[in-house]
Amino acid sequence: MLNVSLQGTAQSKQRSILVIALVVLETLLVTTALIPAQLWTRLLPNSANAGLDGPFPASVALVIPFLLYVIPTLVGFLCRNWQQALFYATLPAWIGLGLFVTAATLKVGIFYLVSNDKITGNVSVLILFAALGGIGWLAQSIFLSRRSTN
């Protein structure tokens, strides 16, 4: 009995480390995705496709949008309860959007924050990430319930 308890604790610790690593990776991907193309062309002047692909080579750039959708779903799948799934799935979007809005406000002005199209876009990103995390958590719940009935 004690061995099973210790094994469950080690598995929970590994799961937590994996969730944190996925959240960090997603935060980096979201942040790089929010950097405007003009900045990439200035930062990477020798790259012909910097305006289109950002800092990624063309072969890898196709995988980035896929990861932006899959990682929040995996995070939701790995979380034990739905509150954690939604929080960890949206945390990268909160951080990325917070950095982007802060930089845009410093450059454009405070009224950038209250522009209707900006508010709608930012809220849509948060809703998307929350929905993906929720779908992952629901998939995990269904998977675990089917596994326990067999």
The confidence band for 113, taking pLDDT boundaries of 50, 70 and 90, is low
Q: In angstroms, rounded to a whole number, what is the distance separating the alpha carbons of residues 53 and 116?
A: 28
Average pLDDT value over all residues in the chain:
83
- The rounded percent of the chain whose pLDDT value lies above 90 is 39
The confidence band for 75, taking pLDDT boundaries of 50, 70 and 90, is very high
Q: Which of 143, 142, 141, 132 is nearest to 74 (CA)?
A: 132
Work out the average pLDDT over 106-121: 74
Of 60 and 112, the structure prediction assigns the larger pLDDT to: 60
State the pLDDT at residue 105: 79
Helices (H), the chain: 2-34, 37-43, 50-53, 58-61, 63-78, 82-108, 116-149
The confidence band for 3, taking pLDDT boundaries of 50, 70 and 90, is very low
101 touches 113 (CB < 8 A): yes
State the pLDDT at residue 2: 37
Q: In angstroms, rounded to a whole number, what is the distance separating the alpha carbons of residues 26 and 24?
A: 5
State the pLDDT at residue 35: 78
CA 111 to chain centre: 27
Of 5 and 148, the structure prediction assigns the larger pLDDT to: 148
Q: In angstroms, rounded to a whole number, what is the distance separating the alpha carbons of residues 101 and 113?
A: 7
Given a cut of 60, whether residue 149 has pLDDT beyond it is: yes
Taking CA atoms, 120 is separated from 13, 50, 127, in Å, by 37, 27, 10
Q: In angstroms, rounded to a whole number, what is the distance separating the alpha carbons of residues 91 and 34?
A: 15
